[in-house]
Amino acid sequence: MKKLLKLTLLIFFFATLTAHAQHELVIHEKGGSTQSFALSSIKKLTFTEDNMFIERKEANTVSLFIDNILYLDFQPYVNILEKLQTDYKIFPNPVTSNLTVEHSETIDDLKIFDMQGKMYLHILPKTETVNIDMSSLEAGIYFLRIVSNDKINTSKVMKNTNH
């Protein structure tokens, strides 16, 4: 039941986080295979004790055994025009201590979350450049959510151990 709750919370967190951008749900299975679904094509996600059901808007419902799921990942699928329009930089990535975020517009809101959805930082910088001390965070994958001019950008940041 605890596993089911974690998966449910993770799904709702990322569905909210990515509401303003085109992203996809990638399901990594224990056998090494993956399945991808555009979030915009998902009508409803349902969890039972043993299964995860993905009801799609214009296609059949997909059923997966929860025990076969290794992990879920949310990734943007970016076309060339979107790639050219990137208006922010995050570096270095991976980071060991200090992360810099540079944006072409004023950053209104910035949050850092871990893979389970726990928020580690929330600031309202109101500047175009932000330096973040990440040295106290454990090594792992984090998500940086940047709000600028009512646009939401989400990026994955790798945190390495401090040496």
The pLDDT value recorded for residue 115 is: 82
Q: In what order do the strands lie in the sheet with 88-91?
A: 88-91, 98-107, 127-133
The pLDDT value recorded for residue 150 is: 78
The pLDDT value recorded for residue 96 is: 92
Low-confidence ranges of the chain (pLDDT < 50): 5, 9, 13, 16-21, 77-85
The full set of domains in the chain, from first to last, is 2-76 (2.30.30), 86-159 (2.60.40.3080)
The pLDDT value recorded for residue 78 is: 45
The pLDDT value recorded for residue 98 is: 94
Distance between CA atoms of residues 110 and 148, nearest Å:
9
The pLDDT value recorded for residue 82 is: 42
The pLDDT value recorded for residue 20 is: 39
From the list 103, 159, 154, 109, the residue with the least C-alpha distance to 134 is 159
The pLDDT value recorded for residue 58 is: 82
The pLDDT value recorded for residue 7 is: 54
Q: Give the global pTM.
A: 0.50
From the list 124, 75, 134, the residue with the least C-alpha distance to 100 is 134
The conformational region for residue 161 under phi > 0 = left, psi -120 to 50 = alpha, else beta, is beta
SS3 content of the chain, % helix, strand, coil (to 5): 15, 55, 30
The pLDDT value recorded for residue 112 is: 93
